[in-house]
DNA sequence: TTACATGCAAAGCATTTGCAGATAA
DNA sequence: TTATCTGCAAATGCTTTGCATGTAA
């Protein structure tokens, strides 16, 4: 077994164990989805991507289940939801702290390690001092589409 | 006439002149909307806010027109669209370069001056070297809602 | 056996669009 | 006069939900 294969399996197994930790039953659907999501290293995907990949692999999991599963996985930190555009949520399987560079024309997302953005000067956060999460999306568009 | 009133009128007049520059007819609906948007200094609003404000002022402009107008105003830089959540666009009337701090629980947006975030270390941008626009939204949630 | 999952179809919601009537130039 | 605009209602696209059936523990 190749080293990279081992690594991928490890991420899948960690995901299953996260399910158990959170009292969520490892049903066949959830196992299939976890496998697809975590077996390929860092990536960004949405419900539709996932739906198509399951079909391509010969499985048939309903879209509703996929939506619900993505949301549930995010609720305990297995995935991170990124709102890139209206009517389009993406999910990121990279658990390291990082931000996102979003190239709108290509609907492509690139991770930026945390250490590359200096946030020390953002204004004081009002009232709610206990932050749960800071998300940054850097949006980029090429010149030609300036008036869309 | 107070100084602040003068300033507000100035923003409104600048907006009208931007319309003319772009060959867009200053219809009564567009004038009313421009007035509401620009007469109160820097602010963030969405289609629904604007719809309610027009009604409160006794005007009746259809939601469709409001959506179309917000989109059109953004298309030539009179407004800046911010996608804060799925199915929810906000528009910002502040034309200075800046980023956004979005407090999710309160659906509140706070401007961050450009100079307060250091972006010099983001990774090289692929292929498309001519950037049109960089948007940053810092999302914040309070602790209590950690699993939503 | 029972609490939790799944899948379907219907509902929801913000936004967009087609089109007929209205309006600015 | 004519290109553009407005408003309505219907359409859209993604996502969520209600509910009957299925399944893990």
Spell out the per-residue pLDDT of chain B, length 148, in tens.
555 566 667 889 999 999 999 999 999 999 999 999 999 888 999 999 999 999 999 999 999 999 999 999 999 999 999 887 777 899 999 888 788 888 777 778 888 887 777 777 766 655 444 455 667 777 776 544 333 3
Q: What is the pLDDT of residue A139?
A: 76
Put simply, the answer to whether A128 touches B105 (Cβ < 8 Å) is: yes
Q: Are A141 and A101 in contact (CB under 8 A)?
A: no
Distance CA B15, CA B38 (A): 8
Sign of dihedral through CA atoms B95, B100, B106, B107?
positive
Give contacts of B 98-127 with A, CB under 8 A: 101, 103, 105-106, 108, 110, 112, 115-119, 121-123, 125-126
Name the residue with tokens 């307060």.
Answer: B116
A71 touches strand D (CB under 7 A): yes
Give contacts of A 6-65 with B, CB under 8 A: none
Q: Are A135 and B147 in contact (CB under 8 A)?
A: no
Q: What is the pLDDT of residue A121?
A: 73
Q: What is the pLDDT of residue A61?
A: 97
For residue B42, list chain A residues with Cβ-Cβ distance below 8 A.
none
pLDDT at A148 over 50: no
Segment A44-57 shows an average pLDDT of 96
Q: What is the pLDDT of residue B129?
A: 41
For residue A121, list chain B residues with Cβ-Cβ distance below 8 A.
115-118
pLDDT at A143 over 90: no
Q: Are A95 and A132 in contact (CB under 8 A)?
A: no
β-sheet bridge partners, residue B102: B109, B139
Put simply, the answer to whether B139 touches A125 (Cβ < 8 Å) is: no
pTM of the model: 0.84
Q: What is the pLDDT of residue A99?
A: 81
Q: What is the pLDDT of residue B91?
A: 94
Q: What is the pLDDT of residue B4?
A: 58
Neighbours of A120 (CB within 10 A): 7
Q: What is the pLDDT of residue A136?
A: 76
Segment A12-26 shows an average pLDDT of 95
Sign of dihedral through CA atoms A141, A145, A147, A148?
negative
Segment A118-135 shows an average pLDDT of 61
Task: Output the DSSP codes for B78-129.
Answer: SSEEEEEETTEEEEE---SSEEEEEETTTTEEEEEEGGGSB-TTSPPPPS--
Task: Output the DSSP codes for A30-80.
Answer: HHHHHHHHHTTSS-EE-HHHHHHHHHHTT----HHHHHHHHHHHHHTTSSE
Q: Name which of A10-24, A36-50, A121-135 the model is least confident about.
A: A121-135
Per-residue DSSP letter, A123: P
Count the helices and strands in chain A (H runs, E runs).
Answer: 4, 6
Q: What is the pLDDT of residue B24?
A: 96
Distance CA B100, CA B111 (A): 5
Q: Are A104 and A85 in contact (CB under 8 A)?
A: yes
Segment A36-42 shows an average pLDDT of 92
Note the Cα A46 to chain centre separation in Å.
8
Q: What is the pLDDT of residue B87?
A: 74
């Amino acid at each position: 077994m190749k080293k990279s294969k081992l690594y991928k399996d490890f991420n899948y197994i960690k995901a299953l164990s996260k399910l158990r930790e959170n009292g969520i039953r490892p049903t066949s659907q959830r196992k299939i989805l976890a496998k697809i999501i975590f077996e390929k290293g860092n990536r960004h995907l949405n419900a539709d991507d996932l739906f198509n990949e399951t079909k391509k692999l010969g499985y048939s999991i309903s879209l509703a289940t996929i939506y619900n599963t993505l949301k549930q996985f995010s609720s305990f930190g297995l995935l991170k939801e990124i709102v890139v555009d209206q009517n389009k949520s993406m999910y990121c399987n990279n658990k390291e702290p990082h931000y996102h560079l979003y190239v709108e024309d290509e609907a492509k997302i690139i991770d930026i390690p945390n250490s590359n953005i200096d946030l020390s000067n953002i204004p004081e956060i009002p009232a709610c001092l206990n932050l749960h999460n800071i998300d940054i999306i850097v949006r980029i568009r090429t010149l030609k589409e300036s008036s869309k």
